[in-house]
């Protein structure tokens, strides 16, 4: 069938209505509140934004328009991975089946001390981007070291990201003197602030037990000065909670409140061991919580009270954590796990329904990033961050409820097309911006040095 239509470029209508990309004829999940999936829909993209949404087969567009066939597919917002350490893809499978404290202090920290350098972070970040694009993630929140290299990798990939410099009160990769951690963090922010519309810099304080009160306060002050989010790992283990109680006489959220950190720009990942009072404090402070179910399970850290947070009205995001503790960056797997874990933990089969979890991975993830006005839903005028999921495969047939099928049946490998900011990053499962073979070969070579 001929999909090109000549139009009169002299008319005022045609001059305005000339899409660069048309995603044609799929089932559209907009993730806009109250909107049901739309059959036989087409999404028109012009430059970096969504120009229109239509169910008509009779709209004009020029021959140069890129047409993506979405027949037997779902068109939906790109996924938002709200907590990751992309470069740690180089440590995938390196330290499995260990408790968190041993995993971190006896395996990961020593490996990072020996093997983290700018080149390894660059290629590890590229591998992370490659994996996320392949599985439908268009935006992510990251925190690690040598983040100049992660910025370069993400820029090369074409993804959208909040990339934070790690802050910890110990000698760290690239920051041998911990007294300079915030000096270097501020310099990092100033290097990359407003450098790209797709990349936002920031700070990431590792945790309330690895960063002093002074460091935490100063990191928040810097973040507020630049109107940027501040990331932190919060209440990830019982040991962390007990240590803070012992040192301060307060539970972690109460401790952070006393330091002035319970602000609406604080992004708190994990957030597992919280009592009722702490939940209320997070809600009142408008803190942005990120659920990390698979990493929490694999390290036996615990189960966060996410369904209660959602019931309270908190817009919780979802993240994968790193490949060293997950061991993948596939948000489709993360959604499936989050939904089922939420049901079994509360013994309530209607908790964490498919729509709620899909919202966590799209519009609520956009909210955690501070980008809810630009991404997370498919609406006219919003940025064109869109994925197409191929439903023409045995494990996705039949299709009764597209949202349920996406959360409970689909896999990252079902994604066939990925668009970020109006640019095609993957078409027909072929990468458009990254060299898959080179990236994988480079990381294989890095892994041989780590293994030895």
DSSP string, 217-230: HHHHHHHHHTT--E
> Is the alpha carbon torsion for 290, 201, 49, 131 positive or negative?
negative
Structure confidence at residue 452 (pLDDT): 67
This prediction's pTM: 0.95
Band of pLDDT at residue 192, cut at 50, 70 and 90: very high
Q: Which CATH number fits domain 12-78+383-431: 3.40.1390.10, 1.10.357.140, 2.30.40.10, 2.120.10.30?
A: 2.30.40.10
Lowest mean pLDDT among 13-27, 106-120, 197-211: 13-27
Cα 133 to Cα 331: distance, rounded to the nearest angstrom:
11
Bridging pattern class, strands 317-318 and 73-77: unpaired
Q: How many residues does the chain have?
A: 452
Structure confidence at residue 275 (pLDDT): 98
Cα 259 to Cα 395: distance, rounded to the nearest angstrom:
50
pLDDT tens per residue, range 150-169: 999 999 999 999 999 999 99
Neighbouring-strand partners of residue 137: 79
Distances in Å between the Cα of 128 and the Cα atoms of 85, 90, 432 are 9, 9, 16
Q: What is the average per-residue pLDDT within 277-292? A: 98
CATH topology of domain 79-369: TIM Barrel (3.20.20)
Q: Phi and psi dihedrals of 329, rounded to 5?
A: -115, 30
Task: For residue 98, give the nearest of 324, 293, 323, 273 by alpha carbon.
Answer: 324
pLDDT of residue 12 exceeding 90, the answer is: no
Q: Which residues of the chain does CATH 2.30.40.10 include?
A: 12-78+383-431
pLDDT tens per residue, range 206-230: 999 999 999 999 999 999 999 999 9
pLDDT of residue 146 exceeding 50, the answer is: yes
Q: Which residues of the chain does CATH 3.20.20.140 include?
A: 79-369
């Amino acid at each position: 069938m001929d999909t090109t239509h000549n139009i009169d470029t002299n008319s005022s209508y045609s001059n305005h209505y000339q899409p660069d990309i048309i995603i044609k004829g799929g089932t559209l999940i907009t993730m806009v509140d109250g909107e049901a999936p739309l059959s036989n829909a087409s999404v028109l993209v012009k430059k970096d934004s969504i120009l229109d949404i239509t169910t008509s087969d009779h709209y004009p567009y020029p021959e140069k328009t890129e047409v993506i066939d979405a027949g037997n597919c779902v068109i939906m917002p790109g996924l938002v991975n709200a907590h990751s350490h992309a470069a740690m893809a180089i440590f995938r499978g390196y330290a499995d089946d260990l408790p968190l404290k041993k995993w971190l202090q006896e395996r990961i920290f020593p490996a990072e001390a020996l093997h983290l350098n700018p080149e390894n972070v660059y290629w590890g970040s590229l591998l992370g981007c490659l994996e996320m694009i392949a599985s439908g993630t268009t935006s992510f929140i990251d925190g690690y070291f040598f983040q100049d290299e992660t910025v370069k990798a993400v820029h090369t990939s074409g993804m959208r990201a909040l990339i934070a410099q790690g802050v910890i009160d110990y000698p760290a990769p690239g920051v041998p003197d911990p007294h300079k951690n915030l000096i270097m963090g501020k310099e990092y922010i100033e290097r990359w602030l407003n450098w790209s519309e797709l990349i936002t810099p920031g700070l990431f304080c590792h945790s309330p037990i690895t960063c002093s009160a002074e460091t935490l306060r100063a990191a928040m002050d810097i973040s507020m000065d630049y109107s940027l989010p501040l990331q932190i790992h919060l209440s990830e283990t019982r040991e962390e909670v007990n240590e803070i109680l012992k040192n301060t006489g307060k539970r972690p959220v109460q401790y952070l409140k006393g330091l002035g950190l319970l602000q609406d720009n604080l992004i708190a990942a994990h957030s597992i061991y919280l009592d009722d009072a702490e939940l209320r404090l997070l809600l009142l402070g408008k803190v942005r919580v990120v659920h990390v179910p698979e990493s929490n399970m694999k390290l036996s850290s615990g189960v966060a009270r996410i369904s209660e947070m959602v019931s309270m009205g908190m817009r919780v995001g979802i993240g994968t954590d790193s490949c060293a503790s997950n061991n993948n960056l596939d948000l489709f797997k993360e959604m499936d796990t989050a939904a089922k874990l939420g049901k079994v933990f509360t013994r309530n089969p209607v908790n964490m329904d498919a729509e709620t979890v899909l919202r966590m991975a799209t519009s609520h993830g956009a909210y955690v990033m501070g980008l809810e006005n630009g991404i997370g839903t498919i609406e006219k005028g919003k940025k064109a961050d869109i994925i197409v999921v191929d439903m023409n495969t045995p494990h996705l047939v039949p299709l009764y409820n597209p949202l349920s099928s996406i959360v409970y049946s689909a896999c990252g490998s079902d994604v066939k097309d990925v668009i970020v900011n109006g640019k095609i990053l993957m078409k027909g499962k072929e990468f458009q911006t990254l060299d898959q073979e080179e990236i994988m070969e480079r990381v294989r070579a890095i892994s041989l040095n780590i293994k030895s």
